Every structure is written in C-alpha cells, then in structure tokens.
Amino acid sequence: SQELEQSPQSLIVQEGKNLTINCTSSKTLYGLYWYKQKYGEGLIFLMMLQKGGEEKSHEKITAKLDEKKQQSSLHITASQPSHAGIYLCGADRRGTSYGKLTFGQGTILTVHP
C-alpha cells in the first residue's frame, strides 16, 4: 500500500461546484505540501501546512491538516475550469524536509463549463 493515499483518484465536477480532495498518511506527518500540476508540466506550489489544526487559504482553495488523523484535505469553492489539473500532496517525514517529499499518486480534477 502507498505511504500517502489520495482520494478520489479522479473527480469530474460542473463549474461552480465545491469539491474536496483528501490525502491520508500511513506515517507521522511533520508537514504536508499541496501542489497543482498541468499534464506534462512542473508542479505549482499551493500551500504548506505544518501544525495540527492548521488551515490556510489562497483565493478559492483552502487546505487543512489534521495531525491526529494524519490527514489533510484540500477544498475548492465554486470551482472554475482554471482549477482543472492534477493535485498532488507531498509529505515531509523528517520535520525539516530540506526538500525531500513523499508524494501521493495524485487526483485528476476535471471541471466542465
């Protein structure tokens, strides 16, 4: 089984709908990173969460970290076609990652206009 499981693996929504992507770790989380990737391109940094209960928002995207459950969620409000892409969560296992992350397999988001 994966160290970091993302669910769902893919998601198709109508423009304007809210959605949530989950990331669950089988090991202790010291930090959790969220990135967005367009197919075949690099990763765009969205947010980084370090403390249990921490919640961060940027535009219409909100991420939360539940340290006890070793889980993070990414919520998009009023989705737009520009939100489409692959969302990846990456875990920092050491407390100070120095750039080494363990990634989930990604969630493919499609937003229909």
Partner 1 sequence: DAGVTQSPTHLIKTRGQQVTLRCSPKSGHDTVSWYQQALGQGPQFIFQYYEEEERQRGNFPDRFSGHQFPNYSSELNVNALLLGDSALYLCASSLGNTIYFGEGSWLTVV
**Sites of contact with partner 1 (CB under 8 A):** 4, 31, 33, 35, 40-45, 48, 50, 88, 90, 92, 96-106
* Closer by beta carbon to partner 1, 48 or else 77: 48
CA-nearest of 105, 107, 109, 104 to 91 is 104
Cβ 66 to partner 1 shortest distance, Å: 19
* Closer by beta carbon to partner 1, 17 or else 93: 93
* Closer by beta carbon to partner 1, 37 or else 77: 37
Contact 21, 11 (CB under 8 A): yes
Contact 22, 73 (CB under 8 A): yes
* Beta-strand pair 10-14/107-112: parallel
Cβ 38 to partner 1 shortest distance, Å: 10
* Closer by beta carbon to partner 1, 18 or else 28: 28
Measured CA to CA, the distance from residue 47 to residue 35 in angstroms comes to 7
Tally Cβ neighbours within 10 Å of residue 60. Answer: 14
Cβ 47 to partner 1 shortest distance, Å: 12
Token representation of residue 23: 């990331």
Cβ 91 to partner 1 shortest distance, Å: 11
